[in-house]
A = this chain, B = another copy of it.
């Protein structure tokens, strides 16, 4: 199987993945009393490892919950010097050029990668390294915050794979890079 990079991320209608204060409370603006899975479990089964930026990593740590990932996690950061000791064997700090980072992760036997976090997704898109995107849209306009997308050198076309609606409110669109 070929190496692939996937995105699975939620945004507001106006394209923000966090609000003006960096908060993600809007992700829960649609009531989900039965804690319905919004496609994450099926997605999770398709990936070998998770690659996340420092911001996303710190948001996960801020939840103060047990480490939520069963797959290997690679934290991309040029500023961190180490990860907390209790994450040894669960998460690994990686830095450098994306190509070197990917080679390192691939050499460990991980082919299908979940690329998480706005900045990291943008870095991958800049080098046209995203193969599939599953974008969940929460029915709210935030009016500012952390954008999912940013400036890119050139347009990129995608194939529409499917669209789903969850909880009569949340849409989820899957796209595959057209090459």
Contacts and interface: CB of A to CB of B under 8 A. Distances in A.
Interface stretch (A90-98, A105-113, A139-147): A139-147
B169 A155 contact: no
A14 interface: yes
B165 A141 contact: no
A65 to B, nearest CB: 26
- Range, interface on chain A: 35 or more
Contacts of A141: 125, 149, 152, 155-156, 158
A19 interface: yes
Max chain B CB contacts within 10 Å: which of A140, A141, A153, A173? A141
A114 B22 CA distance: 33
A175 B140 CA distance: 9
29 contacts: A13-B158, A13-B175, A14-B15, A15-B15, A19-B155, A29-B157, A125-B141, A125-B143, A137-B173, A139-B157, A139-B158, A139-B159, A139-B160, A139-B178, A140-B157, A142-B152, A142-B155, A143-B152, A143-B153, A143-B154, A143-B155, A143-B156, A160-B165, A160-B168, A160-B169, A160-B170, A160-B171, A163-B171, A171-B171
